[in-house]
Amino acid sequence: MDRLAAIEIFIRVVDTGSFSAAARHFDVGQPAVSKAIAQLEEWLGVKLLLRTTRTLTPTEAGTSFYQRAKRAVEETDEAVMAARGSAAGLSGKLRVSAAVCFARLHIVPRLPAFLDDHPHLELELVLDDRNIDLVEEGIDVALRMGELTDSNMTARRIAEARRRVIATPAYFNRHGIPAAPADLLAHKCLIYTRDGGGEDWKFRKETAEVSVRMQGRLRITATEGLRAAVFADMGVAVASEWAFTPELKSGAVVSVMDDWMLPTISLSAVYPTGRLASTKARQFTAFVENCLADEATPASRAANQALESARPV
């Protein structure tokens, strides 16, 4: 038995609470996972897991072994990376969770260079607009927008972007251009309901502050749907710059009322609870951070510089 492999399988089983999830992560059959755990228990001479038809929990000995083994494996991985040096690049598997539209616009087009720099790395993008369970899905790092509701997660805010009032030139030609928040009440508004969206918005301009409840018959839960509705000239949307970066640059959509500020939206790198961020996860996070820095507008750059200066040294 490869004891290190068996230990890594055991750690994944405890992390996910599932033999099948561990099997998917290591790309092996579930019987191979069961066999590895049984051989590890035989070698140690203790029971590590309590299994029923519906639950899987570590024993007291299993919990103690898990905590020490996990630290050892993570430190070993870090030691290997340090010994090989940065020129060796990253290796192994990395599972990243991100929203569909964000990944399509900002990550996937830049991946060729990242993968060329790390020819031994296998990257799996798990794209879903829902906030999936990182442990159950075996995710190494997730990219999440907006305020994080789970305070137990290990997270680092890596970027911020402006929210803007956006529509196509064709829509504004037909319906006029709003100049102040109250003007939005006369417009068809597309209501995006995720990532801190909604119909209620607070606009600020110097010392003035105006609250508006936007009126609209169409509510949308996915960014791709919001983009499609905007491109169809269906109305005005409040959206982050990240959702329309290419079109804002090309002029396919227009941002108006830019002298009125809306709350910014943040992007965080989130790691599974209780896990140290691996070198692979940290370097991928830095890659995303650099991608967004390259694309940022002057206003967003200022927000990100303020975010960086606020971080503890």
Highest mean pLDDT among 23-32, 65-74, 176-185: 176-185
More confident: 195 or 312:
195
Average pLDDT of span 155-171:
94
Q: What is the identity of the amino acid at 203?
A: F
Do 168 and 188 contact (CB within 8 A), yes or no? no
* 147 HSE (CA, 13 A, CB side): 4
> How buried is 152 (Cβ within 10 angstroms: 0-12 exposed, 13-18 middle, 19+ buried)?
exposed
- Please tell me the pTM assigned to this model: 0.71
Tell me the three state secondary structure of residue 300. Answer: helix
- pLDDT computed for residue 85 by the predictor: 57
Tell me the three state secondary structure of residue 149. Answer: coil
Q: What domains lie within the chain, and their CATH numbers?
A: 3-83 (1.10.10.10), 89-157+269-310 (3.40.190.10), 163-263 (3.40.190.290)
Please say if the pLDDT value at position 309 is more than 80: no
Widest distance between CA atoms in the chain: 77
* Among the listed residues 196, 162, 160, 204, the one whose alpha carbon sits nearest the alpha carbon of residue 311: 160
Tell me the three state secondary structure of residue 50. Answer: strand
- pLDDT computed for residue 134 by the predictor: 84
Please say if the pLDDT value at position 82 is more than 90: no
Percent of the chain with pLDDT over 90: 57
CB neighbour list of residue 43: distance below 8 Å, 6 or more residues apart = 1, 3, 6
Average pLDDT in the chain? 86
Q: What is the pLDDT of residues 104-138, one digit of tens each?
A: 999 999 999 999 999 988 999 999 988 888 877 87
Average pLDDT of span 276-295:
87
Residue by residue, DSSP assigns 267-289 as: EEEEE-TTPPPPHHHHHHHHHHH
- pLDDT computed for residue 135 by the predictor: 76
Please say if the pLDDT value at position 1 is more than 60: no
Residue by residue, DSSP assigns 78-111 as: HHHHHHH-GGG--EEEEEEEE-HHHIIIIIGGGH
Average pLDDT of span 253-272:
94
* Among the listed residues 262, 259, 263, 280, the one whose alpha carbon sits nearest the alpha carbon of residue 271: 280
- Residue 308 pLDDT level (bands cut at 50, 70, 90): very low
- pLDDT computed for residue 81 by the predictor: 64
Highest mean pLDDT among 137-141, 226-230, 279-283: 226-230
Please say if the pLDDT value at position 86 is more than 60: no
